[in-house]
Amino acid sequence: MNPLKAMPGWKDKILFTPGPLTTSRTVKQALLRDLGSRDTEFIETVRFIRRRLLELGHVGDAGYEAVLMQGSGTFGIEAVVSSTIPPDGKLLVIINGAYGHRIAKITSILKIGVVKLEYPEDSCPDLEQIEETLKHDPAITHVAVVHCETTTGIMNPVGEIGGIVHRAGRVYFVDAMSSFGAVPMDLARCHIDYLVSSANKCIEGVPGFSFILARKEPFLKTEGYARSLSLDLFGQWKGLESNGQFRFTPPTHAILAFQQALLELEAEGGVEGRAARYQKNYQTLTAGMSGMGFQEYLPRDRQGYIITSYLYPEHPKFSFEEFYRRLNQRDQVIYPGKVSNANCFRIGNIGRIFEADIRTLLAAIREVIDEMGVVL
């Protein structure tokens, strides 16, 4: 078979997922260059990205460093856990979804002491319990929480938790994988010491690397803590600082695409402008889905505008696999559920999608439900 004939046309399926996401044509085009990792243009691109990420977190001049790390967001999470907790350290993980559990699993595999505060997936953490736990367990050195728990779409109160952690004199780590770039956040005000996100989320780049925003005061004390060569966060930072280069082969194409994505974020009005578009997507989605009779998993006051979980219809003819397949045939890609106590599917409002795309999805859902004979 001629591989050129097997390639799809330019029009891709629309991804209503939490990442990878639908990207702009210009971000895709930025991938179409070969650039050496030691090229001065590439080194300047990395420098620009690191500076711009700090500005997005409102800490461009507030004692923070940005470190790029090859691999998915989970690689970035593991880099922080494995590189910044001392040999005798202990991590408190606040959990109300699958990604909090993942942080705890990483910690356990690394043989680092871990305490888990677990809450139902439709509930926010108990702030008083967090405060009491830190008060009664002085061995805890670090605290971790997921900002937007993509399991459900719930938004955890990272600012309030940050205040508790700061007053207790611990180090605070936030997984902002699905929120950074679309939810305004001031790292210093939230007392965040380490924040991790990924290129292929709300900044609308492509997969290939994660990034860590680290407060210098605790970070500079971590040399020698790393439990991994390739995920040594301090070592990665030292390399970037010394000559602007990665220690190992960088994802050059993904970085070029990310630079373009950052420029497009700025042109849209920054984080606030992108948040406004995503909020409009969310409002259009929830109005349309509610109008058809679909029920959201979360109460509205706990639901963010990044991704929304919907309960399966209680009708004998509903099958998620068939529902997904028929939508996929219409070039509309949604996401399976990850909730442990309910049958759900998820629809993302992020990526290079607009209100018109949401309306197209809603029309497709109506058609599919009617075809399947499902009554809501």
DSSP codes joined into one string, 234-279? HHHHHHHHHHS--SS---HHHHHHHHHHHHHHHHTTHHHHHHHHHH
User: Cα–Cα distance between 25 and 33 in angstroms, integer?
Assistant: 14
| Confidence band, pLDDT 50/70/90 cuts, at residue 152 | very high
| 247 & 310 share domain | no
User: Cα–Cα distance between 37 and 274 in angstroms, integer?
Assistant: 31
Phi, psi of 263 (to 5 degrees): -65, -40
- pLDDT above 70 as % of the chain: 97
Across 145-173, average pLDDT: 97
Residue 3 in any domain: the answer is: no
The reported pLDDT for the residue numbered 119 is 97
Q: Which of 266, 285, 316 is the last residue of a domain?
A: 266
pLDDT tens string 22-61: 999 999 999 999 999 899 999 999 999 999 999 999 999 8
The reported pLDDT for the residue numbered 247 is 94
Distance of CA 338 to the CA centre of its chain: 15
pLDDT tens string 71-89: 999 999 999 999 999 999 9
| 255 & 181 share domain | yes
Q: Which of 219, 234, 266 is the last residue of a domain?
A: 266
Q: Which of 214, 235, 266 is the last residue of a domain?
A: 266
The reported pLDDT for the residue numbered 6 is 43
| 135 & 48 share domain | yes
| 158 & 180 share domain | yes
Residue 135 in any domain: the answer is: yes
Residue 50 in any domain: the answer is: yes
| 128 & 202 share domain | yes
| 92 & 132 share domain | yes
Number of domains composing the chain: 2
The reported pLDDT for the residue numbered 3 is 41
The reported pLDDT for the residue numbered 75 is 97
Residue 2 in any domain: the answer is: no
What CATH number did the domain enclosing 129 receive? Answer: 3.40.640.10
| 298 & 312 share domain | yes
Residue 1 in any domain: the answer is: no
pLDDT higher at 135 or 3: 135
DSSP codes joined into one string, 118-136? E--TTS---HHHHHHHHHH
Residue 222 has pLDDT above 90, yes or no: yes
| 198 & 95 share domain | yes
The reported pLDDT for the residue numbered 11 is 64
| 133 & 275 share domain | no
User: Cα–Cα distance between 279 and 178 in angstroms, integer?
Assistant: 14
SS3 content of the chain, % helix, strand, coil (to 5): 40, 15, 40
What does the buried/exposed string (b/e) look like for 25-37 if buried means 16 or more CB atoms within 10 Å of the residue's CB? eebeebbeeeeeb
Please give the residue range of the domain that contains residue 82: 25-266
| 204 & 59 share domain | yes
Phi, psi of 344 (to 5 degrees): -135, 160
What CATH number did the domain enclosing 282 receive? Answer: 3.90.1150.10
Residue 164 has pLDDT above 80, yes or no: yes
Across 197-214, average pLDDT: 97
| 71 & 162 share domain | yes
Residue 175 has pLDDT above 90, yes or no: yes
Cβ atoms of 363 and 326 closer than 8 Å: no
Element (H, E) at 336: strand 335-336
Helix ranges restricted to H, 137-244 = 158-167, 216-219, 233-243
| Confidence band, pLDDT 50/70/90 cuts, at residue 335 | very high
| 250 & 315 share domain | no
The reported pLDDT for the residue numbered 146 is 98
DSSP codes joined into one string, 18-31? SSS----HHHHHHT
Residue 259 in any domain: the answer is: yes
Residue 133 in any domain: the answer is: yes
Residue 19 has pLDDT above 90, yes or no: no
What number of other Cβ atoms are within 10 A of residue 181's Cβ? Answer: 27
Residue 160 in any domain: the answer is: yes
